[in-house]
Chain A
Amino acid sequence: MIGVVALFEVRDALLDAIAAARAQQLTIVTAFSPAYDPRIEAAVGVPRSAVSAWTFAGGVAGAIGGMAFTIWTVRQWPILILGGKPLVALPSFLIVAFESTILIAVCAALAGFFAGGRAMRRVARAAYEPSLSEERFGLLVACVSADAPLIGELMTRSGATAWRVVRS
């Protein structure tokens, strides 16, 4: 794939460029910013993250797993009666299950984060440069090689301080 990456000093210039690129019906791959910005996110049109789904699945697994595990362990030694309670003393197990729900959900959320960002990280790598984590904003637009100068010019018009062609 060939793309053009443009760098901007200010966020509003980036937003302008995105709007311009949209107007030209260009394929916006992604934008770069040193910090989270909901406006950029909206302008680029990033799809919904699957992290919540991962978390939910992790939580359900943790809840069921925690409860099942505790019940299974006490049934290994059915004579271990404690304090007059039955073997399966659900109120105490609920506490353990709650904690395991949280634990597995947290791990799943993080796994979801890594899994979700993975594809884009590979694409972004070629377009990346260190100033993007300091103060600059970037925009990566997909193109065919012939269009690159035109797009570069479009970006410059929108306020880009520099642009270049990337291949990945």
Chain B
Amino acid sequence: MAATDPDVPSVSALPLPVALRRVTRDILATLEWHTPGWLAYWGAVGLCFFLWSLALLVWTYQIYSGLHITGLLHPVMWGAYIATFVFWIGIAHSGTLISAILFLFRARWRTSIARAAETMTIVAIATAGLFPILHLGRAWRFYWLIPYPNERGLWVNFSSPLIWDAVAVGTYFVASVLFWFLGLIPDFASVRDHTAGWRGWIFGRLAVGWRGSAHEWRHFRSAYAVLAGLITALVISVHSIVSWDFAVAIVPGWHSTIFAPYFVAGAVFSGLAMILTLLVPGRVLLGIREYVTDDHLEQVAKLIVAVSLIVTYSYASELFFAWYRGEPAERSQFLFRAAGAYAPLVWLAIVCNSIVPLAFLRRAARRSPAVLFAISIAINIGMWTERFVIVVASLAHEYDSYSWGRYWPTAFEWTVLLGSVGWFLFWFLLIIGHIPSVPMAETKEHLITPASAEAADS
């Protein structure tokens, strides 16, 4: 129970029974509405609701009047909507990285932030999933993308990357929700046992009869590990598939085999940044600073700088391939990005994604909440810009120069974009505020068996 273990919260300094009780009490306290920040909390939820209601209004108008209210045009048929879709899918990824991949790697520091990260994943997928529907010409027919038996006897085209997308994102959503739910079951039981009234009742149903017997733990652990493994495979496939939306097309600037790893790295990168964006203020708002410590944030920052280097490598390889392939259209596209109409965005993305994160090489930067927050915002902007450039600049500058074009999002699109942030935060806040925001059982597991003891065991 050494207080020097940075991976477990500060309660580990207390005697074990006291520490265990404190964990339960502390986390359960975050569920009560009289937490210090409740006004701020509900204010934020309300603001987010307003934002996405506004977006809904815009979208209704878009359905009514057609897609001409966007800035889309003939060569650039995809714009901010699709870029934002990719962005949110990317955000989802680091949630999975933290909860599943780091679990498999036995990185104990993941515990404190895993719940938030997983919740972020689910909500981000739910946000991302809206965009392919939002951008449809005839959105009211979106269900035609789902393979269901119908009187036409016509199924979906499984050769289309968009169907791969639908299948992958759907699977990802279902698997993530199940994984998230499985991890919550012991915590639900805790809430059931220590909360009276309607919340106890609801959580009792959600705990599906969990009693914490050694047998149950055995199945739990087995299922959790299996799911973590499956989801790790899934998460890599999902963003690879999203990248194939572009990579299998013949558009210069899209058609590239590096896209899958490139997108996965970018996704993890942006997701980690989003975790920081959420947790730096969120841990204060929810009163869980003791559990999400500066040590945890520093670990995230370390990962960020590592992934940033991978992303930078991807940029460099694009340059290499543009030259090495020898295709005029590809070279033209590369030069267009570097110096054309979208060049300021390209350079903005490079600065935000490749240069700014290098600040995390310094320990002081990694441990300052303000710096962490600022850089995470820069990365979020940089990654959205990168997606925007990939989608838009490639389409704007294809083979036939007669049809080159310039796309800029309209105010309507910006509203929808902002609305998606509102939608994301709305659900994130609503959910994280009403479930144990730190995995209690797993925290206790580390208290009972500290890293030193675990090492001794093995």
Q: Are A82 and B20 CB-contacts (below 8 A) given A99-B237, A107-B178, A113-B223?
A: no
Interface residues of B in 182-217 (CB under 8 A from A): 182, 186, 189-190, 192-194, 208-217
A9 cross-chain contacts in B, Cβ below 8 A: 17
Does the CB pair B153–A35 fall under 8 Å?
no
Q: How far is the CA of A131 from the CA of B21 in the complex (A)?
A: 9
Q: How far is the CA of A112 from the CA of B224 in the complex (A)?
A: 11
Which residue of the partner chain, among A33, A52, A105, A110, contacts B217 with CB atoms under 8 Å? A33
Q: Are A134 and B190 CB-contacts (below 8 A) given A46-B218, A110-B182, A125-B211?
A: yes
Interface residues of B in 147-181 (CB under 8 A from A): 147, 153-160, 163-164, 167-168, 170-171, 174-175, 178-179
Q: Tell yes or no: A34 within 8 A of B by CB.
A: yes
Q: Are A100 and B171 CB-contacts (below 8 A) given A38-B449, A121-B210, A132-B211?
A: yes
Q: How far is the CA of A140 from the CA of B212 in the complex (A)?
A: 12
Q: Tell yes or no: B91 within 8 A of A by CB.
A: no
Interface residues of A in 70-97 (CB under 8 A from B): 70, 73-74, 76-77, 80, 82-83, 85, 89, 92-93, 95-96
Interface footprint category on A: 35 or more
Q: How far is the CA of A123 from the CA of B159 in the complex (A)?
A: 51
Does the CB pair A102–B233 fall under 8 Å?
yes
Q: Tell yes or no: B425 within 8 A of A by CB.
A: no
Q: Tell yes or no: A158 within 8 A of B by CB.
A: no
Does the CB pair A34–B444 fall under 8 Å?
yes
Does the CB pair A51–B213 fall under 8 Å?
no
Does the CB pair B441–A125 fall under 8 Å?
no
Tell me if B's interface is mostly helix, strand, loop or mixed: helix
Give A36 Cβ to nearest chain B Cβ, in Å: 5
Q: Are A36 and B217 CB-contacts (below 8 A) given A51-B222, A121-B210?
A: yes
Can you list 22 A-B contacts (CB < 8 A)? A10-B16, A30-B214, A34-B186, A34-B441, A35-B445, A37-B448, A38-B449, A46-B217, A49-B219, A51-B222, A73-B147, A74-B155, A85-B159, A92-B158, A96-B164, A96-B167, A99-B241, A102-B234, A109-B230, A120-B211, A133-B192, A134-B190
Residue picked from A34, A85, A107, A136, most chain B C-beta under 10 Å: A34
Does the CB pair A110–B178 fall under 8 Å?
yes
Does the CB pair B449–A37 fall under 8 Å?
yes
Look across to chain A and name the residue whose beta carbon is closest to the beta carbon of B191. A133
B440 cross-chain contacts in A, Cβ below 8 A: 34
Look across to chain B and name the residue whose beta carbon is closest to the beta carbon of A120. B215
Give B438 Cβ to nearest chain A Cβ, in Å: 13
Look across to chain B and name the residue whose beta carbon is closest to the beta carbon of A69. B147
Does the CB pair B220–A36 fall under 8 Å?
yes
A30 cross-chain contacts in B, Cβ below 8 A: 213-215
Which residue of the partner chain, among B178, B214, B218, contacts A32 with CB atoms under 8 Å? B214
Which residue of the partner chain, among A33, A49, A89, A124, contacts B159 with CB atoms under 8 Å? A89
Q: Which residues of A contact B (CB under 8 A)?
A: 9-11, 30-41, 44, 46-47, 49, 51-52, 55, 69-70, 73-74, 76-77, 80, 82-83, 85, 89, 92-93, 95-96, 98-100, 102-103, 105-107, 109-110, 112-114, 116-117, 120-121, 123-125, 128, 130-136, 140
Does the CB pair A133–B189 fall under 8 Å?
yes
Give A118 Cβ to nearest chain B Cβ, in Å: 8
Q: Are A124 and B211 CB-contacts (below 8 A) given A11-B448, A55-B230, A106-B230?
A: yes
Q: How far is the CA of A120 from the CA of B457 in the complex (A)?
A: 27
Residue picked from B167, B190, B449, most chain A C-beta under 10 Å: B167
B155 cross-chain contacts in A, Cβ below 8 A: 73-74, 76
A80 cross-chain contacts in B, Cβ below 8 A: 157
Residue picked from A96, A110, A125, most chain B C-beta under 10 Å: A96
Does the CB pair B214–A82 fall under 8 Å?
no
A76 cross-chain contacts in B, Cβ below 8 A: 153-155
Look across to chain B and name the residue whose beta carbon is closest to the beta carbon of A76. B153
Residue picked from B163, B213, B445, B447, most chain A C-beta under 10 Å: B213
Does the CB pair A49–B222 fall under 8 Å?
yes
Which residue of the partner chain, among A49, A55, A69, contacts B218 with CB atoms under 8 Å? A49
Q: How far is the CA of A39 from the CA of B241 in the complex (A)?
A: 42
Give A2 Cβ to nearest chain B Cβ, in Å: 17
Q: Tell yes or no: B294 within 8 A of A by CB.
A: no
